[in-house]
A and B are shown apart, each in its own frame.
Chain A
Amino acid sequence: MLKISETDEIIFTPELLVKFNEILLRYPEDRQKSALLPILHLVQAEYGWVSSPLMDKVADFLQLKPIEVYEVATFYSMFFLKPPGKYMLEVCRTGPCCLVGAEKIMKHIEEKLNVKEGEVTADGLFSWRGVECLAACGMGPVLQIAPEYTFYENLTAASVDELIDRLRLTTAEKAQIIL
């Protein structure tokens, strides 16, 4: 079989494999392909994105052809095919949120972070993008932060500033502890 990339250097941790195997129990025996989306989510949470070697490794684990994983990972908008910032701010850009100011919030984030949609800040901490309806229209404007998917509602320029500053501070404090 033609391999696009080397898969051998990636080793899923035993903890991750335990989770994978728990997921497999949810489906009939010959239907392990059903585990693909939940497993891709776990992989992305662990590695930050889904690279082709990771997808190949998932294919190996589920005994699928690599293409079966690629076609799924590229279809669903939640899977990152290139590394985002440590915090990926996803702002709802659909109609109802725009009625209450989502476009202004996106513009504000772009200026505050000084990177364009989809780009990553120089320190690797942040990236942002507009996403389609997050099903929280009554609390708009809203954003979520991948990979944890923490959710923030009724955004204002001030609350976004506070959020970003807090994330910066938390990261800096964590770095201090490690040092």
Chain B
Amino acid sequence: MGRKLLLENINVPGINSFEVYRKHGGYRAVEKALKTMSTEDVVEEVKKSGLRGRGGAGFPTGMKWSFLAKPEGKPRYLVCNADESEPGTFKDRYLMTHIPHLLIEGMIVASYALGAKTSYIYVRGEMMPQIRILERAIAEAKAEGFLGKNILGTGYDLELYVQPGGGAYICGEETALIESLEGKRGNPRIKPPFPAISGLYNCPTVVNNVESIAAVVPIINDGAEEYAKLGIGRSTGTKLISASGNIKNPGVYEIELGVPVEEFIYSDEYCGGMANGKRLKAVVAGGSSVPILPANLILKLTTGENRLMSYESLAEGAFASGTMMGSGGFVVFDEDQCIVRNTWNFSRFYHHESCGQCSPCREGTGWMEKVLHRLEYGHGKLSDLDLLVDVAKKIEGNTICPLGDAAAWPVASAIRHFRDEFEWHVSHAEEAMGRNYGLAHYADPLPKAETIAAN
């Protein structure tokens, strides 16, 4: 069993209450940080831990904190991004539902480190039950003197509030989230200025994912060095992986970074292998935005070595043969799944969720959805494949926020790796309406690295 830092006590009955959480060592990090560490010490500790943002971008959290401007007379804000909406990702829901005080504790320590006196947890609006859970947890923590005025007699004041979103994926982008928190449409802002200089109410702001904030707790409790001992290379610590799709045991798993992908899928400790005796066809390893990979490429690198669950190993091979860790939304496809249909489904998602601000994304996502729809429903042309690649290329890098890239990558990668399946949908349109393409050669031993690179 790998070591658990966040979910160690998740199955303890009543761990969602302050009392039980505290009994199991909860809020020690608040005591340690506020009573024995300076704000700089806390930032330094998080920097040393190597913790990387768990929301998707993987930017070092400590470094993000150290960029925060500290002008005189202006408040600073910490905002927790709990707008979990990336298809394939449901770890934050799990964490907030079952162990809400871990997030509250992390918020107090992080707010202290950043000098924030008011912090917000922006939760996606649909998670009303989780909003109620967090509000109760905040009230409990406040009653016990861990929030409010003069916390634990240290002179530090902090108010923590939960803000509901309205059901818009785009608000997971940090500047859109800030706009939304200001009561506006979730249109991302042009950067710079970055939120660290001018964020919420034009004040210096840090936006961190739920899991990143929660990870601060074990980092402070055990020390950065202990945390950094876990993991592999620049992928330190543990990561929550949301596993879904055609596997025996879907759910949220805390892994030590560096577990082989093959072990993650097939071992009973994690996914437990494929459901219903089917075979593995493809995996989306980091949420819908990251490139989809066929079975052979997700399990092995083109060198023949095992691919690992780490930021570096998942990205190995770049766009030619790699993917990304993203938010850790691990979606597994069996041989009965249709890649064309799924690509259309994902492109409908991005079209629906595009805020409409930048024309390449607003128009391009709709265009891709339309073309993929006709491919799936038997009206496609062979030239549609190049058209899709072309549209994807013209969206990528040409928008204010990364939603454009996120919409382009799944389409481009599906055509890159499953081109024959798309072509079959055109050449055998009628047959494709009645049955799926199946496993094809996607699980075959890997072709030589040079062949993949040439494609």
Interface residues in chain A, defined as those with a beta carbon under 8 Å from any beta carbon in chain B: 26, 28, 31, 33-38, 40-41, 62, 68, 71-72, 75-79, 93-96, 98-100, 131-140, 144, 148-151
Contact = CB atoms under 8 A, between A and B. Distances in A.
A90 to B, nearest CB: 8
Contacts of B85: 132-133, 135
A138 B251 contact: yes
Interface residues of B, number: 56
Contact of A72 (B87, B88, B126, B166): B166
Nearest to B165: A37
Interface of B: 75, 84-90, 92-93, 120, 124-129, 159, 161, 163-169, 180-186, 201, 242-246, 250-252, 284, 288, 329, 331, 333, 337, 341-342, 345-346, 349, 352-353, 355
Given A26-B120, A34-B183, 4 more contacts: A34-B163, A71-B184, A78-B125, A96-B244
Contact of B244 (A31, A99, A148): A99
Contacts of B244: 96, 99-100, 137-138, 140
Contacts of A136: 90, 93
Contacts of B184: 33, 68, 71-72
A75 B185 contact: yes
Contact of B166 (A75, A98, A100, A149): A75
19 contacts: A31-B201, A38-B164, A72-B183, A75-B166, A75-B185, A76-B125, A76-B186, A79-B166, A95-B87, A95-B288, A95-B346, A132-B169, A133-B87, A133-B288, A135-B86, A135-B126, A136-B90, A136-B93, A150-B129
A41 to B, nearest CB: 6
Given A72-B184, A95-B349, A135 B165 contact: no
B137 to A, nearest CB: 16
Nearest to A37: B166
A40 B166 contact: yes
Given A94-B87, A95-B342, A137 B164 contact: no
A50 to B, nearest CB: 11
Contacts of A133: 85-88, 169, 288, 349
B129 A149 contact: yes
A144 B93 CA distance: 14
A28 B166 contact: no
Contacts of B333: 99
Nearest to A149: B128
Given A78-B167, A132-B352, A26 B161 contact: yes
Contacts of B88: 95-96, 133, 137
A137 B329 contact: yes
Contact of A34 (B84, B167, B182): B182
Contacts of A151: 129
B92 A135 contact: yes
Nearest to A72: B185
Nearest to A28: B201
Given A31-B201, A77-B167, A98-B342, A137 B87 contact: yes
Of A37, A77, A133, A140, chain B has the most CB atoms within 10 Å of the CB of A133
Contact of B345 (A34, A41, A62, A95): A95
Contacts of B186: 75-76
A31 B87 contact: no
A140 B125 CA distance: 19
Of A26, A62, A68, A144, chain B has the most CB atoms within 10 Å of the CB of A26
Given A96-B88, A149-B126, A135 B93 contact: yes
